[in-house]
Amino acid sequence: MVSGVAGAVGGVLAPAVAVGLSPFGVVGVVLVLGSPHARTSGPAFAAGWVAGLVAVSAVAVALTGDVDEPGSVAANGVGWVELALGVALLYLAARKWRKRRRPGEEVVLPGWMATIGDAGPGRAVGLGVTLMVANPKNLALTVSAAASIGQTDVVGTGLVVAVAAFVVLGSVPVVGAVLAHLVLGERAAAALGSVKEFMIANNDVVVVVLLLVFGFSLVGDGLSDLPQA
């Protein structure tokens, strides 16, 4: 069992970065920031993303909260959960690769991307929550982070710090884009536009790499955490 807040925070760094690099979140916030309602809808989208990540994290931590107790149901089952999540991510990686855009094919944007530019603050909040919560990769990574926290001995303030670290790191790209727009205004538009174009053009590769890396990582963690005979 890992002890201390540092160990708990260290265990959530990798999955938090992967959540933050979600192409849908990055592209979504950049599209909102390119709309006429950017100064209100941008912060609203970021708030929705953070709220969704907080909610999913809280539920995941509550469900995996006693994995550090030997013999508990959670302790005996966490290895199987990690193994299942890892296999699921590898399956999603294989499916994404099979459906990837071939060279020369036109980029086809999802329907929500075509209309997000008209989103007011209310709809932007909902989109932020949805793009966070409805993403299987984000859910699996959040459960993985929660299981990692659960395998430590942190409670109370230490637990809050570990979860907060996960939420903050998982929100840096989205919140950072909003802050850059609010502070720099049009000067940030070119950079944000370049990021959007890169993420759209390379979405398949980015997602597949993230799914493979964390899929194999979860499979390895799951195998090491399986109950020993």
Percent of the chain with pLDDT over 70: 87
- The pair of three-digit structure tokens given for residue 92, joined into one six-digit string: 């999603």
- pLDDT, residue 27, reads 84
Asked whether residue 63 carries a pLDDT value surpassing 80, the answer given is no
The whole domain housing 138 covers 5-225
Asked whether residue 50 carries a pLDDT value surpassing 90, the answer given is yes
79: three-class secondary structure by DSSP: helix
pTM (global) more than 0.95: no
Of residues 21 and 117, more confidence is placed in: 21
- pLDDT, residue 204, reads 80
Q: Which candidate, 213, 220, 221, 222, places its Cα nearest to that of 14? A: 213
How far is C-alpha 91 from the chain's CA centre? 18
- pLDDT, residue 119, reads 79
- 9, 134 contact by CB (below 8 A): no
Which of 77-81, 108-112, 136-140, 152-156 reaches the highest mean pLDDT? 136-140
Q: Give the residue-averaged pLDDT of 82-90.
A: 87
List helix spans (H) across 99-202: 111-115, 121-133, 136-150, 157-184, 189-201
Of residues 78 and 58, more confidence is placed in: 58
Nearest-angstrom CA–CA distance, 62 and 81: 15
- 33, 42 contact by CB (below 8 A): yes
- pLDDT, residue 211, reads 86
Per 3-state DSSP, the chain is made up of helix, strand and coil in percentages (nearest 5) of: 80, 0, 20
Q: Give the residue-averaged pLDDT of 103-127.
A: 76
Q: Give the residue-averaged pLDDT of 203-226.
A: 82
Q: Give the residue-averaged pLDDT of 53-64.
A: 87
- pLDDT, residue 74, reads 53
For residue 208, give every residue at least 6 positions away whose Cβ sits within 8 Å of its Cβ, in sequence order, or none: 93, 96, 97, 100
Helices 23-33 and 38-63: crossing angle in degrees, nearest 10, is 160
Q: Give the residue-averaged pLDDT of 166-185.
A: 91
- 148, 67 contact by CB (below 8 A): no
Asked whether residue 104 carries a pLDDT value surpassing 80, the answer given is no
* Average pLDDT along the chain: 82
Asked whether residue 87 carries a pLDDT value surpassing 80, the answer given is yes
- The pair of three-digit structure tokens given for residue 11, joined into one six-digit string: 């265990």
What's the domain count of the chain? 1
| CA end-to-end span of the chain | 18
- pLDDT, residue 206, reads 81
Q: Give the residue-averaged pLDDT of 56-79.
A: 67
- pLDDT, residue 170, reads 93
